[in-house]
A and B are shown apart, each in its own frame.
Chain A
């Protein structure tokens, strides 16, 4: 079983809609979670991180963490075609060992 799992997609949403990206993890000791965006042919870039249960908002992005259910999600409000990318979820396991999920490809349709 992969330690961090994501649906590979593609997830297609119309422009202006809310995109919901989900991630589950198996290591209950994981404390911190991160969302990266990776455009095709480019390197991943950090867009959100969350340490505590609940929601964390940053502009159009909201990260949600539920440690009891072991899932993390990223909501993108008012989705734009420029949000089309692969979104990678990552968690920290052990001492600074970063585990990435396989990523979800998001397509925002104009």
Chain B
């Protein structure tokens, strides 16, 4: 299936731990994103990569570090997790020349306890 796939779908972890979320797209898109959606449904952009190059880096704590080994993958590593990191994290991608046509992954619900 052509899609944006994220793993894991659910992640429950203790404060202070380090965790990673993986994202892969097989759509041939050039640009990938990480978004955070809080409990009020607000989707906030965190990072964007275009062909493995970081192009958007919003004001997020430096405990969050994206890594793009190739243009089909964009992973998110989070160090020293805090309670406020609990949210749903969405990966998305879009093709070149279509700034609005996002395809979202199914999301990773992160719960920090």
Contacts and interface: CB of A to CB of B under 8 A. Distances in A.
Contact of A103 (B33, B41, B56, B105): B41
Given A43-B90, A46-B100, A38 B56 contact: no
Interface of A: 8, 32, 34, 36, 38, 42-46, 49, 86, 88, 90, 92, 96-100, 102-103, 105
Contacts of A86: 41
B44 to A, nearest CB: 7
A107 to B, nearest CB: 15
Contacts, number: 55
* Chain A contact surface mostly: strand
Nearest to B90: A43
A44 B56 contact: no
A96 B93 CA distance: 12
B42 A96 contact: no
Contacts of B42: 100, 102-103
B102 interface: yes
Contact of A44 (B31, B43, B45, B101): B43
